[in-house]
Structure 1
Amino acid sequence: MCRIINYGSLNIDKVYTVDAFVRPGETIHARSYELFPGGKGLNQSVAAARAGSTVLHVGCIGSEGDFLLKTLKDAGVQTRLVWRHGPTTGHAVIQVNASGENYIIIHGGSNQAIPDDLRKQALQELQPGDILTLQNEVNGNLAMIEGARSKKARVALNPSPFDASIEELPLDLVSWLFINKLEGAGLTGQHCPEAICRALLARFPGLAVVLTLGDEGSLYWDAHTRIHQKAYEVCVLDTTAAGDTFTGFFLSGLARNLPLQTCLQVASKAAALTVSKKGASVAIPTLEAVEKASLPLREGAG
């Protein structure tokens, strides 16, 4: 089984539960306030580790990030390449409404100040066949993608939060691209899920596109395979870590050489269990919990 090396963000999530999202010029009361460990990188590392993979996290925290380090260790993630660097740990301000939907504002902090020396050590860790996981909450992704190619490692990219810098990355060197519909539209100008996948594969024939569609399920497309996975029916409380859970479990399935359809099914069920609880990393289930869960497929989904 290959390893997952996650070069990713470590955030403190400040979560405000509200009846409805605040509007411009409006001041509202939050129903509750909670503090959680988060960041797309941390969430994906925790998910992949709880799914049964060997995971090494690479990233930085500031002076107040000790509980993020503990969260990784408690999940079984290796943390020897998590450095204390920069004045402020990355953090996010999250509004969660009555439907479980969220608005998120992030401040990069240490995530945007990862030094070259740490990237060099991370690349030295890579072995042929390893999976290098990247998101867009940290600096230095270009160097990591190019370095992974020289080490014959495979790259999984989740271009979130999406911005113009993604267009500058060599996506032809990426093995798996994990996107939602908004990110897919940003990359292709298309809005239909199938058209998004088709446009990306036309530009990058060696790419595998994993497109998450919320309650419509998910798609996997590569040059030879097209799979649609229905979503599972649950009571949604908080969607914050849904995509990260899906990504971590899917990559863990690949690392364990599971069939693609099984990877999609397990990742989808894990994401469904996650959104049925409040919080980000604290809501991510173990593989045992996913395997034991009996969830109905969403009616009319696909």
Structure 2
Amino acid sequence: MTIWNLGSINADMVYALPHLPAPGETLAASGLEKFLGGKGANMSVAAARAGSRVSHIGAVGSDGRWAQERLTEYGVDTRFIAEVSSPTGHAIIAVDAQGENLIILYPGANHALEGGQIGQALASANTGDLLVFQNETNAQVEAARMARELGLTACYAAAPFEAEAVQAVLPYLDFLILNEVEAAQLQQETGLSAAELPVRHVIVTLGSKGARYFQQGCDPIDFAAHKVQAVDTTGAGDTFTGYVLAGMDRGMPMEQAILQANRAAALMVTRHGTADVIPDLREVRDAQFD
């Protein structure tokens, strides 16, 4: 099968800081690195490195051809990435000495997608394929409807979180992943806990505490995170999601897919960077944790 990813593509500018700045504070960075990023690109790379066939649907500006080439190098099908007049999306990421981060995001070309482009891509999809999307592009509801009509498994990573955006796609979803804070915010808006949402599979990530899996009609299952020395949490959630999707694509039981994704995320937080440093399947399987 194929994982179709309607996803953002960004240039990530990562600044190393002694601590995250307070309002009005000016800090000198001790380092600067540029990576391929965007939640969409990160998930595509993670799923491809986990062994799945991934086709990315997205857009870049003329300044972003390097990003498309990088995705191709990582094994992602980039035929459905359009070049548009808007500049490529980018993120300014500050990372402190403990690995915590803050992110300023400029969407750029990620908000220039057209329904026809998505329809052309999904015309090649087969029943049972997965479509994943996040809240960093436009045309999310249109894509979700297409997925339902085509018999695809619709998967949504609810970040950056907006309750209205989640509610708009909720009727079409088979899989939803969000973090603990986002789950609480969604419950406040809808009155529904994660266990009560009308979605077959829901995963709530809990940061260093691991993740909780809800399947309709079943008791929730908790998964503890591996204990590692984190240096950069950027992209860890996207790595986790990409590995879960790859597990689903390859027919793994959800519990097994989450266990493997936990290992990938644990490795990811020990590295500086985003898509360019996501671990591959061999690294994940060979990793030793205390």
Q: Do these two structures clear the TM 0.5 threshold for a shared fold by scoring above it?
A: yes
2:115 paired with 1:121: no
AA in 2 matched with 1:14: M
2:264 paired with 1:258: no
Q: What is the alpha-carbon distance in structure 2 between the residues aligned to residue 126 and residue 140 of structure 1?
A: 18
- Secondary structure in structure 2 of the residue aligned to 1:65: helix
Structure 1 residue 122: Cα displacement: 2.3
Q: Which residue of 1 is the match for residue 67 of structure 2?
A: 68
Q: What is the alpha-carbon distance in structure 2 between the residues aligned to residue 36 and residue 261 of structure 1?
A: 31
2:240 paired with 1:240: no
- Secondary structure in structure 1 of the residue aligned to 2:183: helix
Structure 1 residue 153: Cα displacement: 0.4
Please say if residues 59 and 81 of structure 1, whose CA atoms lie closer than 8 Å, have aligned partners that are also in contact: yes
Please say if residues 158 and 166 of structure 2, whose CA atoms lie closer than 8 Å, have aligned partners that are also in contact: no
Q: Which residue of 2 is the match for residue 292 of structure 1?
A: 286
Cα offsets for 1:53-94 (capped at 9, x unmatched): 000000000111122112211111101001111320000010
Q: Which residue of 2 is the match for residue 147 of structure 1?
A: 146
Q: Which residue of 2 is the match for residue 215 of structure 1?
A: 208
1:275 to 260, 269, 278: 269
TM-score by length of 1: 0.92
Q: What is the alpha-carbon distance in structure 1 between the residues aligned to residue 261 and residue 205 of structure 2?
A: 11
Q: What is the alpha-carbon distance in structure 2 between the residues aligned to residue 10 and residue 281 of structure 1?
A: 10
Q: What is the alpha-carbon distance in structure 1 between the residues aligned to residue 35 and residue 180 of structure 2?
A: 27
- Secondary structure in structure 1 of the residue aligned to 2:160: coil
AA in 2 matched with 1:232: H
Q: What is the alpha-carbon distance in structure 2 between the residues aligned to residue 241 and residue 222 of structure 1?
A: 25
Q: What is the alpha-carbon distance in structure 1 between the residues aligned to residue 166 and residue 74 of structure 2?
A: 33
Cα offsets for 1:142-172 (capped at 9, x unmatched): 0000111110101110111012432441313
2:161 paired with 1:162: yes
Q: What is the alpha-carbon distance in structure 2 between the residues aligned to residue 211 and residue 114 of structure 1?
A: 29
Q: What is the alpha-carbon distance in structure 1 between the residues aligned to residue 279 and residue 196 of structure 2?
A: 36
Any unmatched runs of 5+ in structure 2? none
Cα offsets for 1:178-217 (capped at 9, x unmatched): 1001211221129xxxxx9x7134241x431111111101
Which 4+ stretches in 1 moved above 3 angstroms? none
AA in 2 matched with 1:47: A
Q: Which residue of 2 is the match for residue 14 of structure 1?
A: 13
Q: Which residue of 1 is the match for residue 134 of structure 2?
A: 135
How many residues align? The count is 288
Q: What is the alpha-carbon distance in structure 2 between the residues aligned to residue 100 and residue 67 of structure 1?
A: 27
- Cα RMSD, aligned residues only: 1.5
Identity of aligned residues (%): 39
